[in-house]
Copies of this chain bind each other. A is one copy, B any other.
Amino acid sequence: MRQQDEIIQILKEKGLRVTPQRFAVYANLLNRFDHPTAEEVLSDLNQDAPKSSQSTVYSSLQALCEVGLVREVLLEEGVCRYDANVAPHHHFRCRCCGAIQDIAWEDLEGIKLDKVRSQFRVESYEVTLHGSCENCQSD
C-alpha cells in the first residue's frame, strides 16, 4: 500500500492539481485489483456519506488516463473499466463470473504459459495490436 505523500507527489509530477476527490479516485484504484467501472469507484468512495460526485469521478478518471497513471480496460460491452496498473500486461476474463485478472507479461511467453494454464482453463484468446496503419504512417 502506497503512502499518501507518495500519491500526492505522483499527481503533482504529472501536473495535476491535488484535490481530495482526485486523490481519492487514484488511491482507490491503486488499492483494488478488480478493474472497477467508474460507477464502482464512485459507490466505493461514497460508502458512508457522498464525498465525490459522479461527474467528478468521471473527470478524474479521464484526467488520470490522459497523464498515463491509469489505463482503460475494454473487455465487455457497454462499460469502461479502469486499471491503475499501467505496466504492460494482459488480461484474463472469466466467461462465467466476469472476473478480470491481470496476467503478467512474462507469463505469456514460452514456458510460463503453463503457469497460466494451471490457474485458468483458457478457451480462447485474442491479441489486439495498436499502432499506426499504412495510411497513417506519414504522421
Q: Hey, which bits of chain A sit against chain B, CB under 8 A? A: 72, 74-78, 80, 88-97, 99, 101, 103, 108, 116, 119-137, 139
CB neighbours of A91 from chain B (8 A): 126-129
Tell whether A136 pairs with B74 under 8 Å between CB atoms, given A108-B127, A129-B120: no
Contact of A76 among B74, B97, B99 (CB under 8 A): B74
Name the contact of A92 in the complex, choosing from B78, B94, B121, B131 (C-beta under 8 A): B131
Copies per assembly: 2
Q: Are B95 and A130 in contact (CB under 8 A)?
A: yes
Inter-chain contacts of A122 with B (CB < 8 A): 129-131
- Residue on B nearest A93 in the bound complex, by CB: B130
Is there an interface contact between B134 and A93, defined as CB atoms closer than 8 Å? no
Does A131 contact B94, Cβ atoms closer than 8 Å? yes
Q: Are B136 and A92 closer than 8 Å at their CB atoms? A: no
Q: Which of B94, B130, B131 contacts A132 (CB 8 A)?
A: B94
